[in-house]
Structure 1
Amino acid sequence: MLTTNPLTWDELSSCCLFSLSPKIQPKNILSAQLWVHLRPANTITTVFLQISRLKPVREGNHTRVRVRSLKIDAEAGSSSWQSIDIKSLLQAWLRQPETSYGLEINAFSTKGENLAVTSAEPGEEGLQPFIEVKILDSSKRTRRDSGLNCDEESSETRCCRYPLTVDFEEFGWDWIIAPKRYRANYCSGECEFLYLQQYPHAHLVNKANPRGTTGPCCTPTKMSPINMLYFNRKEQIIYGKIPSMVVDHCGCL
């Protein structure tokens, strides 16, 4: 999952330029969504969210070509995030970067109000449009594992790392935008004396502890973070690295 934040174009308040990561290749794009935050309307209304692509006709002038539109029934006094599929548009831009001149974003109500947040007004920080891109990771990496890796069919009784996928939607955590699910893994198994030679540090700590101990436990010995995109309590978009979310190795401590 990759996200791109907008660079607002001063010439048009409703137009945004986006900085795209060089890691994104057209053939590797699984999905691409443009997210737009809508300000609350005064009354119940129908909103027409329109995305137009800008094309230069001569120096300093542009023409607009509508590429996507979405009809939304909005409740009075409620703001919301809306998304539009732009996968094909993003792929075309990446194949021909010279054709990328930004997007014009409008969300007009039946009364002609433009409810789309396209620039950060006071109190609207973190509500600018952004693009969420999911890509296929084709890179192959090899790494040295310390400890055992098992699955649910394994007959291994020693301390081992098992696969576990956490699905945030099953928890009802709809405030998390991405990832919706991820592989967390967990540790399980016995740390018997016979197997302590696999974990000499734990063996030595167990013998040297003057207060005594019930013995080492199977626990994560190495963990890694994940990148997460989520809403805070103000409905602002937060993108951050959450530490210790994935179990990489297990051992007896």
Structure 2
Amino acid sequence: MLRTVLLLLLLLLLLALARTASPGPASVAIRRAEALKKLLEVFGMEDPPAPPTHSKQPPQYMVDLFNSVANADGVTKNPDILEGNTVRSFLEKTHSEEMRFLFVLSSVAKNEKILTAELHLFRLWPRVTDVTDGPKRQHFCQVNVYQVLEKDKPDTPGGKKLLAARLVSLQTSGWEVFTITPAVRDWTEDESSNQGLLVTVQSRGGAPLDPPPLQFASGRGHHESKKPMLVLFTDDGRRGASLPTAGFPELTPQAPDLPAPKSRRSRSTRSLGRLQPCQRHPLSVDFEEIGWSGWIISPRGYNAFHCKGSCPFPLGENMRPTNHATVQSIINALKLSEGVSSPCCVPDKLFSINLLYFDDDENVVLKQYDDMVAGSCGCH
């Protein structure tokens, strides 16, 4: 009887060890879900945005901005371009034929500080007769951008507020950008106050022009690449804490681990690992592999790098030690105090990365995240 009980206990122990050593599919799925949730938290999200319902191209302005700020891996190469850490773009969705525009800003988080708001309008080529008719020939006209205060009566006194005014040439076509920050701040503080924008065209002297010689592309009847767009530069208050981040990383790390010569491979792997000095090693993050490629536009992934290796006494300059690490190494080597370990191999320079992605409303967002790439490693 005792022997049977012991055998049953041994069997149960072996089963428990087997489960620990090789977790089942359900356990692996749970751990994967937990890991992805943590990664989403790093990116300031609760859930991943849903991919666009159809093949959708991001505005060229946002693509160009990403390319000017980041390299192909998303690592920041020019930290002085962005104002704040978030750029949001909104396409006009009312498809009005008049020069009235409404942008839905529900995806702007309450904690985001509005730094600058820009209205981007694509100026069409003027009609030939409008610029060549004898004494009425026009070379410039004045464009006014108003915040609408009274939706149904914008032309009454108090029905609108002037945000920007500029003389615009009638000899070219292309994008015109108007700063409208006060209006967007009003809208984000009180969503019900968002009655849209009104754009008017006048002569240089302020007289109305009918029909106006200048036309902007609208949301109706024009290619999506020319649609009116609102661009917000904001800051969500998320900032890296401690390590220097300025400047573009020189991605030339200390040499990674190389296979040992055959004559030395008889040593245990563990012993060999301890002898490797502190240095930087690749750590690939592939957004397609983790199922995020549907909503992330750029990059497709990036190299986060990680630090690994020993910090043996005495610490040389190539270990990039802090003064504290040097003292700790001496105390550890001379056994001057109990419980003092050798310094650790950790990142001593971190760099930010940038993501260009679609949010839940299919708006395109450029967001910068601090402390995402180990630029170099040292003993601390």
TM-score interval for Structure 1 and Structure 2 normalised by the shorter chain: 0.5 to 0.7
Q: Distance in 1 between matches of 2:182 and 2:253?
A: 48
Cα RMSD, aligned residues only:
3.9
Instruction: Identify which of 232, 244, 253 aligns with 1:189.
Output: 253
- Contact in 1 for aligned 2:92/2:219 (Cα 8 Å): no
Matched, 1:222 2:284: yes
The structural deviation recorded for 1:83 is 1.1
Matched, 1:23 2:108: yes
Q: Distance in 1 between matches of 2:125 and 2:215?
A: 7
Matched AA of 1:128: K
Matched, 1:87 2:181: yes
* Higher-strand-fraction structure: 1
Q: Describe how 1:99-178 pairs up with structure 2 within 5 A.
A: 99-108=193-202, 112-122=212-222, 124-139=223-238, 164-165=247-248
- Secondary structure in structure 2 of the residue aligned to 1:91: helix
Matched AA of 1:222: S
Q: Give the direction of change, closer, same or farther, for the CA distance of 1:251–1:223 in structure 2 (3 Å limit).
A: farther
Q: What runs of 5+ residues in structure 2 fail to find an aligned partner?
A: 1-86, 132-137, 263-279, 288-295, 309-380
Q: Distance in 1 between matches of 2:301 and 2:200?
A: 38
Q: Distance in 2 between matches of 1:86 and 1:96?
A: 16
Q: Distance in 1 between matches of 2:304 and 2:246?
A: 10
Q: Based on CA coordinates, which of the two structures has the bigger radius of gyration?
A: 2
* Higher-helix-fraction structure: 2
- Secondary structure in structure 2 of the residue aligned to 1:8: coil
State the match for 2:139 in structure 1.
45
State the match for 1:71 in structure 2.
166
Q: Give the direction of change, closer, same or farther, for the CA distance of 1:164–1:66 in structure 2 (3 Å limit).
A: same
- Contact in 2 for aligned 1:35/1:129 (Cα 8 Å): yes
- Contact in 1 for aligned 2:139/2:169 (Cα 8 Å): yes
Instruction: Give the alignment's TM-score, normalised by structure 2.
Output: 0.39
- Contact in 2 for aligned 1:54/1:104 (Cα 8 Å): yes
Matched AA of 2:153: H
Aligned residues: 180
Q: Whose relative contact order is higher, 1 or 2, with alpha carbons under 8 Å and at least 6 apart?
A: 2
Matched, 1:8 2:94: yes
State the match for 1:62 in structure 2.
153
State the match for 1:36 in structure 2.
121
Deviation sequence 1:188-232 (CA, Å, 0-9, x none): 13326xxx3xxxxx649x98xxxxxxxxxx77533588xxxxxxx
Q: Describe how 1:234-253 pairs up with structure 2 within 5 A.
A: 241-244=297-300, 247-249=303-305
Matched AA of 1:54: V
Q: Give the direction of change, closer, same or farther, for the CA distance of 1:81–1:99 in structure 2 (3 Å limit).
A: same
State the match for 1:174 in structure 2.
none
Over the matched positions of the two proteins, sequence identity in percent amounts to 12
Q: Give the direction of change, closer, same or farther, for the CA distance of 1:8–1:28 in structure 2 (3 Å limit).
A: same
Matched AA of 2:164: S
The structural deviation recorded for 1:68 is 2.2
